[in-house]
Amino acid sequence: MKFTNGFWLKREGVSLQHAAQVYEAEYSEKLRLVGTPIVIRQRANTLSIPTFNLTIDSPLADVLRININRHSGGPAALRFALNETNSPTSFTQDDAAWHLRAGRLEAVISKEDKWQIDFLGDGELLTSSAGKSLAYADVQESDGAKGFYIFNQLNLGVGELVYGLGERFTPFIKNGQSIDIWNLDGGTSSEQAYKSIPFYMTNKGYGVFVNHTGRVSFEVGSEAVERVQFSVPGEDLEYLIIYGPTPKEIISKYTALTGRAPLLPDWSFGLWLSTSFVTDYNEATVSEFIDEMAKRDIPLSVFHFDCFWMREFHWCDFEWDTRTFPNPEEMLTRLKAKGLRISLWINPYIAQASKIFNEAKECGYFLKRPDGSVWQTDDWQAGLAIVDFSNPAARDWFKSKLRPLLEMGVDCFKTDFGERIPTDVVYFNGVDPEQMHNLYPLLYNQTVWELMQEMKGDDAIVFARSATTGGQSMPVHWGGDNTSSFVSMAESLRGGLSLMSSGFGYWSHDIGGYEGVLDPAVFKRWLAFGLLSSHSRLHGSGSVRVPWSVDEEAVDVTRTFTHLKQKLLPYLLEVSTEVTNAGTPMMRPMYMEFPEDKTTWFLDQQYMLGPDLLVAPVFTEKGDVDFYLPQGEWKNYFTGELVTGGRWVSEVHGFHTLPLYIRQNAQLLER
């Protein structure tokens, strides 16, 4: 959200009060600062002005938390739960400044007649909250927004680049973008995001996490081009500075605070095959898909039943459509005898025609309108209502509907949706619906995840679309509705790399594109990319995604890369321990693995799969591709040729290969 009109003027209807100085400081385990909007020259200046009340402490070594509020009598903003270690801080002062240190990170607060807080890592300046960077904004009319806001700005240095803020399909480097942390169901070809995360990091060695569950508006060098600005409605803002200095260290500390993924079952890394809207939903069709994959020597790990395993207009009642699946338990037994795991599609919306609608309504398990009636819409399923996961009883009820399916033989759930959550509702817990909107998918997936852990133990997994901070501890997530085009394939990768820059360890996407007419060349190129991602799924909307529906070459390509991923499984399992122990993602942006190489800072069409395997998907039909090899010796996976890095490489590939290079001395991959 922008408050100014250029450098000098405010936007119409906006009144700003900027912090001008720190008037006083007091330290007792935490540092408390009182700022004022004017420089206090005499006691009379203290009358009829607001104060900026800051508390700075450390929840983890090398991390400083800054809380800012104006009036403390109202309800505090809802925060994400953090895994705190109560890291000790040290406080000193001299004639010029107060100094608060947490590990290797230090805040230096000026005593002069100006507002200046510098953040130093190992004694080097990282960023600053400088003049006019902290303000209260009273907005009467600005792009439809009204109310009171707090914003803070942090300086950007020359050449400083910003990454993260969730799974975003816009340009990978976020400089110049206006980004709202607000989950929406917008597809991959829009500026909207299914997974909005109020965390970013820069190539200067630090990250910033705004601990606020509601809407956070970021202006990343887009309003004040020398700064990142973040604003929230209300009178309470909290942000954390996380010192690395490397990207992996930043991610490690951020995920230590907000959660990490557990080790995942081996079978989850195999190929998932899904049905589509046009699939004939019956056991014969399902068995034909599965048997044909086996006949063509394409190893299949998971078969997924999408929406129409339930009856139309009844989503979700969690009951098999007995017209097409008359004996689901027997069917699952037959399918699992073929060595498969079974996944079912679900969402948190209960259609009015569902048998369980009235049950949930009478028990008060739905989101309600302010007048006490159930909030309903026809958008998706007729008369659907939304489960209120802020109600513990509703969570238990939701689990009770899924438990019989797991007992029947289902292995996991695709937890779809969770973004279309209205704000004109009342929650059971009474929390402001604006602050619950982004939190909703966390509670939804947490409910299913808890049941999976209870029923499946170490085999627990979900396949989720929506998320926010903390969602990374309940994997896996996929990238939502893309299209069958090379452009969409590239934007999907950008979104995944952006999510990996936001603390998530695993990521998948719909191979070949979800929407549109399936393009054979796109499908075959996407197969290589998809089967060299952490998790791999064939899924589409308007057509099935079995490879023989495309052509025989697609069958061969699927076989080639499915077997390749099987061969890589020991390596992937080793890499997964890094996800669990350090938060390092399995698919890594190049800058994360090679931060010392400035060329990698700009790369968004290639990635590292673990520390030792470079993948450059091909985004053209004819197979030409340019990619960058960092310094060192690399071996072409397919030919064994040794190549010296530190340069760009141009290659042309058929559908059975792509640039896939092994880093020098990668022992696990050499076995």
What residues act catalytically? 416, 419, 481
- Please, are residues 71 and 78 in contact by the beta-carbon 8 Å criterion? no
For the beta carbon of residue 73, count every other beta carbon within 10 angstroms.
6
Report d(CA 234, CA 248) in Å as an integer: 34
Nearest partner of 154 among 66, 93, 69, judged by Cα = 66
- How far is CA 660 from each of CA 209, 497, 591, rounded to the nearest angstrom? 34, 18, 18
CA within 13 Å, CB half, 576: 22
- Please, are residues 161 and 601 in contact by the beta-carbon 8 Å criterion? yes
For the beta carbon of residue 446, count every other beta carbon within 10 angstroms.
17
- Please, are residues 579 and 586 in contact by the beta-carbon 8 Å criterion? yes
Residue 63 identity: V
Report d(CA 319, CA 346) in Å as an integer: 11
- Please, are residues 615 and 653 in contact by the beta-carbon 8 Å criterion? no
Report d(CA 471, CA 667) in Å as an integer: 33
Looking at residue 387, the DSSP 8-state letter turns out to be: B
Bridge partner residues of 614 (DSSP) = 608, 661
How do 30-36 and 21-28 pair as beta strands? antiparallel
- Please, are residues 3 and 122 in contact by the beta-carbon 8 Å criterion? no
- Please give the backbone phi and psi of residue 87, each rounded to the nearest 5 degrees, phi first: -60, 130
